[in-house]
């Protein structure tokens, strides 16, 4: 039964990875990265569920790992968004385009 959720987790990792590689907008990359992360957490959750024992519905150790992971993923995302907004503020750009592109000195529109 838990295998179904495991397969969903694997699919989410694939979806997130695709978005992370292909999307040109950094904000969408951050979003895709969070999607990828939640897929990984789901795999942990399936392993925890399969470790149900001693009257518990699931192994608490992977659950604790996932809770820590969710918080740290949020901290990383917050830093990434702040960096992106600062980049936009300074250069008027919000992409990670080629380095050869001249920095827009005239500021944003």
Report 36-95 residues binding another protein (CB under 8 A): 38, 41-43, 45-61, 63-68, 70-79, 81-86, 88-89, 92, 94-95
CB of 23 to another protein, least distance (A): 8
CB of 52 to another protein, least distance (A): 7
The answer to the question of residue 30 lying near another protein (CB under 8 A) is yes
Rounded Cα–Cα distance for residues 28 and 24 (Å): 8
Residue 54 or 103 having the CB closest to another protein: 54
Contacts 24+ apart (CB under 8 A), 77-81: 77/30, 77/33, 77/34, 80/26, 80/30, 81/27, 81/30
The answer to the question of residue 33 lying near another protein (CB under 8 A) is no
Residue 57 or 105 having the CB closest to another protein: 57
The answer to the question of residue 5 lying near another protein (CB under 8 A) is yes
């Amino acid at each position: 039964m838990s295998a179904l959720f495991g397969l969903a987790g694997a699919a989410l990792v694939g979806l997130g990875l695709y978005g992370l590689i292909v999307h040109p907008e950094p904000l969408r990359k951050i979003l895709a990265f969070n999607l990828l992360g939640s897929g990984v957490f789901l795999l942990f959750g399936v392993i925890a569920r399969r470790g149900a024992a001693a009257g518990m519905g699931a192994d608490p150790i992977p659950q604790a790992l996932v809770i820590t992971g969710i918080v740290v993923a949020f901290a990383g995302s917050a830093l990434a968004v702040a960096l992106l907004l600062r980049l936009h503020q300074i250069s008027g750009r919000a992409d990670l385009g080629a380095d050869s592109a001249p920095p827009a000195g005239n500021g944003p529109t």
